[in-house]
Amino acid sequence: MKSPEYSPIPILVVGHTNPDTDAVCSALAYADAYQQLTGETTIACHLDEVAPETQWVLEQFQLAPPRAIADVYLHVRDVMERDVPRLRPEQTVRAAGLIMQERGVGALPVVDDHDVLIGLLTREALADRYLEQLQLSEEIDLPVAVLLQTLEATLVSGDALRMLRERAWIATQRADTLRHSIRQGDIVIVGDQPDVQRAVIEGGAGCLILTDDAPLDDDLIAIATERALVVLRTRYSPFAAALLIAQSVPVGRVMQPEPLCCLDDDLLSEAQTLLRNQGRASLPVVNVRGQLQGLLLRRHLAAQSRRRVILTDHNHPDQTAPGVPESEIIAIIDHHNLGGLQTLRPLTILCEPVGCTCTLIAELYQRNQLQLTPQLAAGMLAAILSDTVHFRSPTTTDRDRRAVAWLEQQSQQDAATMARGLFRARLPRPTPPAAWWVESNLKTYTFGNHSIGIGQVELTEIETVMPPIEQLQAALSRIVQQQRLTTAFLLLTDILDQDSLLLAADAQGEQLAVQAFGQPFVNGSSRLEHVMSRKKQVVPRIAAVLADGS
């Protein structure tokens, strides 16, 4: 983790809320096209739940679904260091120090058997431990096996599984005075001094550590063996051996327990503030189960602060993902009217009057001779057939028809056969409640001071499967209250009959619709013949009435 170069944060390509097939497939297609054109990493995303029709498309043509997201804010997981060494509490501080030196970090997380964060070992804690152990006055609590490993020692006598629980110190006295200093079980460090070695063994020590590969007479080995005294031999000097013993302490005794940490889903801006205010070198990152995911480092304080996003199939603020207004929008690919988004910088806008966003993207593939897989071509074909209702919608253009013909070739699919499958897949099984009919394809439009919700469901024989009108009106009324709308409508479109029923949330909505279409409401609905397009036939008329009344 030594000063690596940043990998640019991927660009998110995302459609509108309550995504339809065009919102999902245009995000997939443009993410692929943009990556081919620029070489930048993109991720196709979707908001909310994928509609049954769209799910059918993804499964039928084996398309990997876009990433499900709740917002486009930058989160800790977008920048955190993932390649993080983990310590276990039983590892020695020496092993931890070597890892710190090798990886160039000032702190290491400590985890349990389930990768749950239980502590943090910092460089400062290691330094404090070093200073404490210079006096060698603290009792240690270590198995012989750990000392063998730390000192790179050989076992001359004794049991490698034995626990040592006394002082560790260097024998600097003469042999005749040394005996009075030894406590039962002490760990005594001795060089090539036979008389001192004998004094240690006969004085009741628990462990003799021979430094500088010092020899030990056979008779002393016999006495040590008889007394079950542990004797180790190491190549290190007495002072070096003493320091290494101090570093044999397990990490669990030195670490900071329950350290300050953040969640991988936390907003990056909030975690950056926490890291900055605490003056720490790093902040462990965990998931909701407490399992370690990575580290947020001080170099991440300078990380990109705004997410770069591309919007497909929408541009109205009310239809965007949370966080879009605070993001850097670098492109909008759409076929709807412009809806008043404000951007930080100039951007690419491809917004033209065709029946489907995927038509514009298909033309982009053709112009630039980009590679297109049959699976993605099938998804784009399905999106155009869905948005244009297989050319029945008045939004259909010759460009849509040409795009369909080209995509049929690229996907090796028949448009008519695909359309039948699409329309059959639109209604979930079992028949969903009224809230689904209102909310599954609801879009909110702002006209001056008015916010109007307009939902649409397109099916065949729709009047035979729709819930009672009273239930749909109640669901519309709830949406008006929850979202503080002026009013709301539901357009129930029969694909084959090529007309629609219009429902309103309240009397204000009915009055607005009568002014817009000149058709009365009978038993809670108004029949609109040859009206199939929300965008082209409903929104402009509502906007015109509100503009005249403003």
Q: Which residues contact 501 (CB under 8 A, 6 or more apart)?
A: 462, 463, 491, 492, 525, 526, 527, 528
- In terms of phi and psi (left: phi > 0; alpha: psi -120 to 50; beta: otherwise), the region of 343 is beta
Q: What is the pLDDT at residue 178?
A: 87
Q: What architecture is domain 141-248?
A: 3-Layer(aba) Sandwich (3.40)
* 523 backbone dihedrals φ, ψ, rounded to 5°: 55, 40
CB atoms within 10 A of CB 525: 21
Q: Give the C-alpha separation, 325 to 52, whole Å.
A: 29
Domain 434-549 class?
alpha beta
CB atoms within 10 A of CB 433: 12
Q: What is the pLDDT at residue 408?
A: 98
Q: Give the C-alpha separation, 506 to 446, whole Å.
A: 18
What percent of the chain is helix, strand and coil (3-state, nearest 5)?
40, 20, 40
Q: CATH code for 11-74+307-424?
A: 3.90.1640.10
Q: Give the C-alpha separation, 99 to 83, whole Å.
A: 13
Q: What is the pLDDT at residue 411?
A: 98
Q: Give the C-alpha separation, 480 to 349, whole Å.
A: 32
Q: Give the C-alpha separation, 533 to 395, whole Å.
A: 7
Q: At what angle do helices 374-387 and 21-38 cross, to 10 degrees?
A: 140
Q: Give the C-alpha separation, 309 to 329, whole Å.
A: 5
CB atoms within 10 A of CB 162: 15
Residue 369 has, within 13 A of its CA and on its CB side, a CA count of 0
* 25 backbone dihedrals φ, ψ, rounded to 5°: -75, -30
Q: Give the C-alpha separation, 304 to 195, whole Å.
A: 68
416: nearest Cα among 389, 396, 393, 387: 389
What string of pLDDT tens digits covers the 550 residues of the chain? 444 444 678 999 999 999 999 999 999 999 999 999 999 999 999 999 898 999 999 999 999 999 999 999 999 999 999 999 999 999 988 889 899 989 888 899 999 999 999 999 988 887 776 666 555 555 777 889 989 988 999 999 999 989 888 888 899 888 888 888 888 889 999 999 999 999 999 998 999 999 999 999 999 999 999 999 999 999 999 999 988 888 888 899 889 999 999 999 999 989 988 988 888 878 999 999 999 999 998 887 776 668 999 999 999 888 999 999 889 999 999 998 887 777 777 889 999 999 999 999 999 999 999 999 999 999 999 999 999 999 988 899 999 999 999 999 999 999 999 998 898 888 887 889 999 999 989 999 999 999 999 999 988 878 888 999 999 999 999 999 999 999 999 999 988 788 999 999 999 999 999 999 999 999 999 999 999 999 999 999 999 999 987 5
Common-topology check for domains 93-130+252-302 and 141-248? no
3-state class of 277 per DSSP?
Answer: helix
Q: Which residues contact 116 (CB under 8 A, 6 or more apart)?
A: 286, 289, 290, 291, 292
Query: CA-based angle 60:61:63, to the nearest 5?
Result: 115
Q: Give the C-alpha separation, 103 to 110, whole Å.
A: 16
Q: Which two tokens stand for residue 493?
A: 């479109």
Q: Which residues contact 17 (CB under 8 A, 6 or more apart)?
A: 47, 48, 319, 320, 321
Residue spans per domain, the chain: 11-74+307-424, 93-130+252-302, 141-248, 434-549
Q: What is the pLDDT at residue 105?
A: 84
Q: What is the pLDDT at residue 103?
A: 87
Domain 93-130+252-302 class?
alpha beta
pTM > 0.75: yes or no: no
Q: What is the pLDDT at residue 130?
A: 61
CB atoms within 10 A of CB 39: 7
Q: Which residues contact 218 (CB under 8 A, 6 or more apart)?
A: none
Q: Give the C-alpha separation, 399 to 391, whole Å.
A: 11
126: nearest Cα among 20, 217, 255, 240: 255
